[in-house]
Structure 1
Amino acid sequence: MALSFGELERMLVNEQKKCADHLVIGGLEKFINNWTGAQKQSGDANRADAIALALKGYGNATPDEREAMLTRALAALRGETESANQIEEPDDEFDADDEDEIAPTRKAAPKSEAKPARTTPVAAYGLDASITRLQTIGPAHAKKLQKLGVYTVNDLLYLFPRRYDDFSQLKTVSQLMYGEEVTVLLTVCEVFTRETRRAGLTITSVVLADTTGTIQATFFNQPFLQKQLPTGRRIVVSGRVDKDLQHLVFKQPEWEPLSKELLHTARIVPVYPLTEGITNRWLRRLVHSVVEFWASKVPDPMPEKIRADAQLPDLNTALREIHFPSTPEKMEHARRRLILDEFLAIQIGVLQQRRKWREQPGRALRVDDARIRDFLAQLPFKLTDAQDRVLNEILRDIQVTAPMSRLLQGDVGSGKTVVAASAMLIAVANGAQAALMAPTEILAEQHFKTLSSVFANLPNPPRLAQLIGSMKNRDKEAAREQIKTGAVDIAIGTHALIQESVEFNDLALAVIDEQHRFGVEQRGIIRAKGYHPHILVMSATPIPRTLALTIYGDLDLSVIDQMPPGRQEIKTKWLQPLERERAYAFIRNQVKEGRQAFVICPLIEESETIDAKAAVEEYENLRKQVYPELRVGLIHGKLRPSEKDDTMNKFRDHEIDILVATSVVEVGIDVPNATVMLIEGADRFGLAQLHQFRGRVGRGAHQSFCLLLAEKKESVADDRLRVIESTQNGFLLAEEDLKLRGPGEFFGTRQSGLPDLKIAKLSDTKILEEARGIAQDLFERDPDLQNSEHHLLAQRVREFWKAKGDLS
């Protein structure tokens, strides 16, 4: 039985809280289309159609666009007269009026209602002019555009379409087929508007014809069309061919008079990101006016020789073609040019930072080979060939005065910490200090215990101190004093290490673990704690080489690509939603054998508060309903550090059998007795994160298991789950994740310290590599970009990075 309108309203209100499209299997749009078909039998088809129309394209929309769609759908459902579904009558003089203000040398067309005159034309302010200086943009529209990140004329030029509708293929009525996106040249035969039983909802039907047949187009809440579409008017109609009973129809298509320059029909039509109160039709006309006048006035920073060698269009052409493509090929050329612009600015920026750091005087450390041999000999294991290779790379770096700046990559369990410990030992042997900074207190404490253990058997072990936020004030003060006086050789802590109150006596080496959890600012601050100390950044997140060279372009790269012998493979199984009880039973059997388990709650959205609430609900369900006889614990990001540590210590000491957790366990928790990792909603996570979760088990002598419990029977994440089920290789998974999901799974641009990208994606690896080659060639010839032909490029790089400050 179909949902009632009241039930549907409650459902849409619930969806509006997150706009995540997770309420129903298959997505909201598919559900609404099926629901609309059922409603047509109940006699209220008009209201159902209006709701379905408001939610058209919901699955592919951004969260902001979804929110706007839901507002319109709820207004249609409630029959509100001042609804978001109500479409304002377009201003027929829009194009002329806009271009007068945007291209102020032309005289405005007469208007029925005068707008306040501006004493200074927008052209006088240039590309940085506020959008409020465009006569078509009042305060209300400016506020809405600001939600899209548009504040200036330049911002409008760089508000790129999120996709395109190809309406370039013309057809006749007799050639139309259900479901096609088409364009037809038609003549208006008849227009009539009727009120529906729902207050505030009107339907305008337009009968259209060409020489081969007739078709009807339906519009909601646009009664003004009776005036705009007189009988005999020739128009161009573009849209999806729908079906009403057995007749083909258009529902809410795009249309334009045949006599005008076509923006919305009969071409490749841009579809922009939207927010509440902004329509694509309105925004398309505004962007077109701005592009027509301003695109040619944007300085082109790319030197002509580079552009010619790379066979790229000039910037004016690229901006015109990315917004209003004349052909798919030209649009793709424009996209490549604009992506290359962004990548080139990134690559030049990191190369400049690399040179800046290397030119600073540092401290050469003498490497005592005997001390390294003695240290490695007393370990209960032998280094792998990969660890040996990487350690030698690091030791070579720290023996010269140029400060080391190196990224050490290695999969979970590959042995990065012992390599870092060897380097720290050399710093101490030179009478200096080392620091190890971790992103969480749990991980910092774990490093403290690990280093204490590996150094314990040395004849003269380094003196260690821990500094984390949850320590008592007197203990923190004592640790800071020891670090300042040199009574401590190696300081281990969290961001507490880089607070102003912390002074090092002689910091020669800083090791930063899980770098992507720190911003570039923290990296720069710890560098300032010593005299240009050597920096070693460690990451357990496998990053494809191309991505690493971009995010860490100013660092040298070392990779431990070999696992220690004897490490067991973690058996990974992808389970369907109906197999939940099977997963629960498996965990119960493992606990009976004396093992422990993690249960990871599904990622709801990037909100610790909402994730914490979901974790609490899962914890209560498991504790009361599923495992009342077992000891179930809970850890999430909203707990106080002391509460997290207390829970983790209990889990480590086997006082808890099953730990329910959010993604706080992604990094650094080491419990050898834990043999099961159950990941709820596994289809919501990316491969890199799933692999990190999996790495929390398999650390002891017993066989370990990772159970991936999908939330939907059929999911777009199926490919990811198949891949992780089939391989343990973190770098292979990283490459696959980059293909399947893009780089956000490793780092958003904000996390990485990169400037926000308008059009480039780090998954555009071919263009990224091309940009790196161009940047390196440029840098060899003119590192400061001082040649006259490089001045605009130098300015572009400065502007691109100015919001981020020091790249270090």
Structure 2
Amino acid sequence: MHSPNWTRLQKALAVEAERDYPDLMGNEYRFSEFLCLSFGKPPSNIPIGERRRWQEMAMRFAVYPQLERSERQHLVADARNFLSQQQKLSETPTEPPEPKLPRTKTLVSSTTKSYARSATSLEQPLSQVIEIGRNSRYLERLGLATVRDLLFYYPRNHLDYARQVTIAHLVPGETVTIIGTVKSCKCFTSPKKKQLTIFELVIQDLTGKIRLNHFLTGNRYSSRAWQERYKRQYPIGSVVAASGLVKQQKYGFTLEKPEIEVLDSHGDSIESIKIGRILPVYALTEGVPADSVRKAVIATLPVAKQIKDPLPATIRKQYGLIKLRDAIANIHFPDHQEILAHARRRLVFDEFFYLQLGFLERRQQFKQTQTSATFNPQGEIIQRFSAEILPFQLTNAQKRVINEILQDLSSSTPMNRLVQGDVGSGKTIVAVFAVLAAIQSGYQAALMAPTEVLAEQHYRKLVSWFNLLHLPVELLTGSTKTAKRREIHSQLETGELPLLVGTHALIQDPVNFYKLGLVVIDEQHRFGVQQRARLLAKGQSPHVLTMTATPIPRTLALTLHGDLDVSQIDELPPGRQAIQTKALTGKQRSQVYDLIRREIAQRRQAYVIFPLIEESEKLDVRAAVEEHQRLSEVIFPEFKVGLLHGRMSSADKDAALNAFRDNQTQIIVSTTVIEVGVDVPNATVMLIENAERFGLSQLHQLRGRVGRGSHKSFCFLMSSSTNQDSQQRLAVLEQSQDGFFISEMDMRFRGPGEVLGTRQSGLPDFALASLVEDQEVLNLARNAAEKIMLADQNLCGFPSLKKELAVRYQRMLGSDILT
């Protein structure tokens, strides 16, 4: 269960106040970033209403850098008071005393005797379980065939109807159960809609009254006879239990879509599988009733005791984990929130643990592979490049990462390293040292990029340096002419061509290397595992260097790259200025246009970015093609305005980019095709239209196209959205230039799949685990997996663990692990 470090938070606030509110820089984050992240993770045991207050405080700190000193002072004081209140709340529960209400029957224990005769084994077909019978056809639609399948089909959520409160203590947004006496009951056809029948029940307890409604659509409910029969179920004076989500209405509180059960008296136990308990909510498909799944689970719960736990008892004890069979039983129908939390924690741990164990096993297997490509990192070519050609001084971070790479390359074990670096941190030059090490050792290298624009960018930069070393470089993309392709293929096979830069064409073409020793993959998350594997197969266990300019949080890195060695370039080159970033509305557009004119008057250039190529009927966005015409003819007729988008031919893209690089066009209107790789140091202004349509990480990448020279640069986020979430997201960009912090916030706002730019990003398929909420458990699972591998690399001493790993790891990563 997540609990804040109260002392650390209060200390951070106190130090910031003592230093007169400068937004201090800590070891990892700025003060404002640390507070924003901390408040973004409220304690898990607080009411929904309080969670909203934590999120609001997080967003206030998102704009802390833009505040005046007096505003910062007020915010810090508010935060200190807020934390003091919340700490008292967490330590001294202020909930009203629970009324003495009927007990809800415990399903896990009560079903054991009732159903022991029918569900007998984990591998028993569901169709043979007496209590399920023909309902097994519903479960088949969910891919569930056996008792084991069903028990491991975890709920996607739970409704907590176990919390029984009096009517006076209802809080909007909470799910509760109330007990009361029926004071009135009506069932009638709506006077405005003849197809709509309204059921209205008023119940009362010692603290107040509440009105509950059901709305029923259909002719069968319009019959007076049906309505009278329905009313007779709830006679005046009878005692009922009702569960649901508390909602605030015009005339007071109510329960949304309440579940209602009539009791014999106030002392009776509640028999329902829904009311008064923590109710599991399962992912369903069309035509599958929720109650059919719940009843089937209840029928099979006794068999959970047969589940064998492959996790060693020492690991369970060390990390405070309950047994697997207890976790399975209580993830479905727990008696209370505490046991549900323990069940979920164990099952989340398992998901992370087997993934990390699989990564570590794959990493171990990779390290046991031998490569013939052992490089000499101290050769003449690298020395010449460093002494005569390198156009700038390397940062300490670049030097550190280069040394890590060269050390890997001198080993007989193939390198498998990921280099992460923020926009503009200088990853390309790091890759150049690896490439030169390969070439001077008599090997060839391949550099694969996801787009022609990025491949072309790399090619241009490498040619300018390698020509001075008299080393040939070629570019192979989908638009390379046939004759040129043949020439490249021939030079590769003879070994004349030491370096080939390209896109997917590197693996789609019949490309055969003479002696491939190094593979460099840029923006590697944009390639599938199979695509990367096909490129590696063109050599004999070549060294692999992957790079990404999309900084990702550690939790996401562990779940994507747990089998890689990771280097981080965490330092920008000296002289790089922060990009002034501002979120604006359409009313301020003319001010941006004026600034663009002033910058161009000083021979600077500007980007204007749009999310779509053509006007969409569904999305109210400005289209790049139409806006290019308007900007060039109406707004900036005195300047040359270029156009760049993904549907243009390769030749037209090159022409547009070259014209912009050479300052023949002062403004370029583009889609996100320029997101990564385009390097025009003279560009100082970026205007992003409909910025709310982009993710934070993508906006950060786009912003990185300016600020690459010595001049002050600007990024304007134009948005017409009044949505509070959109405004809060853009405020993060205004606040921070730190790509890792931005990606962390992006993951919280939109989820990990979207941070990577695509839902098909190779993320594991977790049933329960959340990379946002379960970071602590992920770190524990990684630690446990490392201990297991350290004790027994081949898992020979853990046969059941090894068997479970084979099943789980493949299920989470799909067929990717087979490549």
TM-score range, shorter chain: 0.7 to 0.9
Are 2:748 and 1:743 equivalent residues in the alignment?
A: no
Post-superposition offset of 1:351: 1.0
For 1:574, what is the secondary structure of its paired residue? strand
Amino acid paired to 2:804: L
Aligned equivalent of 1:417, options 428, 432, 435: 428
Paired with 1:612 and 1:247, the residues of 2 have a C-alpha distance of 41
Give 1:312 deviation, angstroms: 0.8
Q: Which amino acid aligns with 1:170?
A: Q
Question: Which amino acid in 1 is paired with 2:788?
Answer: L
Rate the CA distance shift 1:178–1:506 in 2: closer, same or farther, 3 A. Answer: closer
Q: 674, 679, 687: which is aligned to 2:696? A: 687
Closer/same/farther in 2, CA of residues 609 and 562 from structure 1, 3 Å limit? farther
Which residue number in structure 2 is paired with residue 784 of structure 1? 794
Aligned to 1:428: 439
Cα pair distance change 1:175/1:193, threshold 3 Å: same
d(CA) in 2 for partners of 1:603 and 1:127? 49
Q: Does 1:235 align with 2:240?
A: yes
1:506-655 to structure 2, matched below 5 A, reads: 506-576=515-585, 578-602=587-611, 614-616=623-625, 618-619=627-628, 622=631, 626-627=635-636, 630-655=639-664
Contact kept in structure 2, 1:683 and 1:710, CA below 8 Å: yes
CA drift at 1:305: 2.3
Match of 1:371 in 2: 381
Aligned-partner Cα distance in 2 for 1:753–1:243:
42
Whether contact under 8 Å (1:750, 1:756) holds in the other structure is no
Q: Structure 1 residues 453, 130: closer, same or farther in 2, change over 3 A?
A: farther
Distance 2:593 2:147 in 1: 57
The 3 A distance-change label for structure 1 pair 521 and 197 is same
- Indicate conservation of the 8 Å contact 2:177/2:242, yes or no: yes
Q: Distance in 1 between matches of 2:129 and 2:638?
A: 65
1:577 Cα offset (Å): 5.1
Equivalent residue number for residue 16 of structure 2:
none
Q: What's the counterpart of residue 253 of structure 1? A: 258
Q: Does 1:268 align with 2:278?
A: yes
- Displacement of 1:502 in angstroms is 1.0
Does the residue aligned with 1:803 lie in a helix, a strand or coil? helix
- Partner-residue secondary structure (3-state), 2:817: coil
2:814 is the alignment partner of 1:803: yes
Q: SS in structure 1 opposite 2:375?
A: coil
Counterpart pick for 1:772 among 753, 776, 782: 782
8 Å CA contact 1:675–1:698 kept in 2: the answer is yes
2:676 is the alignment partner of 1:667: yes
Structure 1 residue 261, shift from structure 2 partner: 3.2
Offset at residue 647 of structure 1 (A): 3.4
Structure 1 pair 105/554, CA: closer, same or farther in 2 (3 Å)? Answer: same
Identity of aligned residues (%): 43
Q: Please give the alpha-carbon distance, in whole angstroms, between the structure 2 residues aligned to 1:251 and 1:739.
A: 28
Q: CA deviation at 1:384?
A: 1.8
Aligned to 2:686: 677
**TM-score calculated relative to the size of structure 2:** 0.75
- Offset from partner CA, 1:747-782 (integer Å, 9 cap, x none): 379654343111112233211111111111111222
Within 5 Å, give how 1:403-482 maps onto structure 2. Answer: 403-458=414-469, 461-482=470-491
How far residue 423 of structure 1 moved from its aligned partner, in angstroms, is 1.7
2:722 is paired with a residue whose SS is coil
Helix, strand or coil for the counterpart of 1:253? strand
From the superposition, tell whether residues 678 and 265 of structure 1 become closer, same or farther in structure 2 (CA, over 3 Å).
farther
Query: Post-superposition shift, 1:237?
Result: 0.7
- Indicate which of 162, 169, 175 corresponds to 2:163: 169
> CA shift at 1:428, angstroms?
1.2
Q: What do the CA deviations read for 1:522-581 (whole angstroms, capped 9, x no partner)?
A: 222222111111111111122334433432222212222222222232221222454334
Separation (CA, whole Å) in 1 of partners of 2:433 and 2:410: 14
Preserved contact between residue 361 and residue 793 of structure 2 (Cα < 8 Å): yes
- Give the aligned residue type for 1:197: K
- Any stretches of 5+ residues in structure 1 without a counterpart? 1-94, 108-120
Verify the 8 A CA contact 1:300 1:792 in the aligned structure 2: no
Whole-Å separation in 1 of the counterparts to 2:678 and 2:539 = 30
In the TM superposition, residue 796 of structure 1 has moved relative to its aligned partner by 3.7
Correspondence list, 1:101-112, <5 A: 105-106=117-118
Do the aligned residues in 1 keep the contact of 2:122 with 2:303 (CA within 8 Å)?
no
Structure 1 position 493, deviation (Å): 0.4
Deviation of 1:497 after TM superposition, in Å, equals: 0.8
What is the TM-score normalised by the length of structure 1?
0.76
CA distance in 2, matches of 1:635, 1:132: 63
Q: How does 1:297-446 map to 2 (within 5 A)?
A: 297-362=306-371, 363-378=373-388, 379-446=390-457
Tell me: CA distance 1:530–1:231, structure 2 relative to 1, closer, same or farther (3 Å): closer
- Provide the secondary structure at the position in 1 that maps to 2:310: coil
Paired with 1:692 and 1:129, the residues of 2 have a C-alpha distance of: 56
Deviation per residue, 1:324-363 (Å, 9 max, x gap): 3332222222222111111111111111111111211202
Q: Which residue matches 2:193?
A: 198
User: What's the C-alpha RMSD, in Å, of the aligned pairs?
Assistant: 3.8
Change (3 A) 1:366 1:712: same
Q: What count of residue pairs does the alignment treat as equivalent?
A: 687
Partner of 2:60: none
Aligned amino acid, residue 167 of structure 1: Y
Summarize deviations over 1:632-656 as a string: whole Å, max 9, x none: 4444444454444443334334444
- Aligned to 2:135, the other structure's residue is in SS state coil
Distance apart, 1:391 and its partner CA: 1.3
SS in structure 1 opposite 2:815? coil
**What is the alpha-carbon distance in structure 2 between the residues aligned to residue 300 and residue 214 of structure 1?**
49
Query: For the structure 1 residues 480 and 304, does the alpha-carbon distance in structure 2 shift closer, same or farther, using more than 3 Å as the test?
Result: same
**8 Å CA contact 1:127, 1:152 repeated in 2:** yes
Aligned residue for 1:373, secondary structure, equals: helix
Kindly tell me: are residues 794 and 176 of structure 1, through their superposed partners in 2, closer, same or farther at Cα, counting changes over 3 Å?
closer
Distance 2:656 2:356 in 1: 44
Q: 1:441 to 1:602 in 2, by over 3 A?
A: closer
Name the counterpart of 1:15.
none
Say if 1:133 and 1:217 are closer, same or farther in 2 by CA, change over 3 A.
closer
SS of 1:706's equivalent in the other structure is strand
Q: Deviations over 1:437-491 (max 9, x none)?
A: 1111111111111111112222xx2221111111122222221221122121101
1:221 Cα deviation from its structure 2 partner: 1.0
Instruction: For residues 666-692 of structure 1, give each alpha carbon's deviation from its aligned partner in whole angstroms, at most 9, with x where no partner exists.
Output: 211122232111223334434322221
Cα separation, partners in 2 of 1:354 and 1:106, compared to 1, 3 Å: closer
Q: Does the 8 A contact of 2:706 with 2:713 survive in 1?
A: yes
- Segment drifting more, 192-201 vs 432-441: 192-201
Q: Aligned equivalents of 2:634 and 2:150: distance in 1? A: 55
Question: 1-side partners of 2:543 and 2:169: how far apart?
Answer: 70
Comparing 363-372 with 611-620, which one deviates more in the overlay?
611-620
Q: Cα distance, 1:225 vs. partner?
A: 7.2
Tell me the equivalent position of 2:709.
Answer: 700
Moved more, 798-807 or 434-443: 798-807
In structure 2, distance between residues paired with 1:312 and 1:699: 50
> What per-residue deviation string (whole Å, max 9, x for no partner) do you get for residues 3-37 of structure 1?
xxxxxxxxxxxxxxxxxxxxxxxxxxxxxxxxxxx
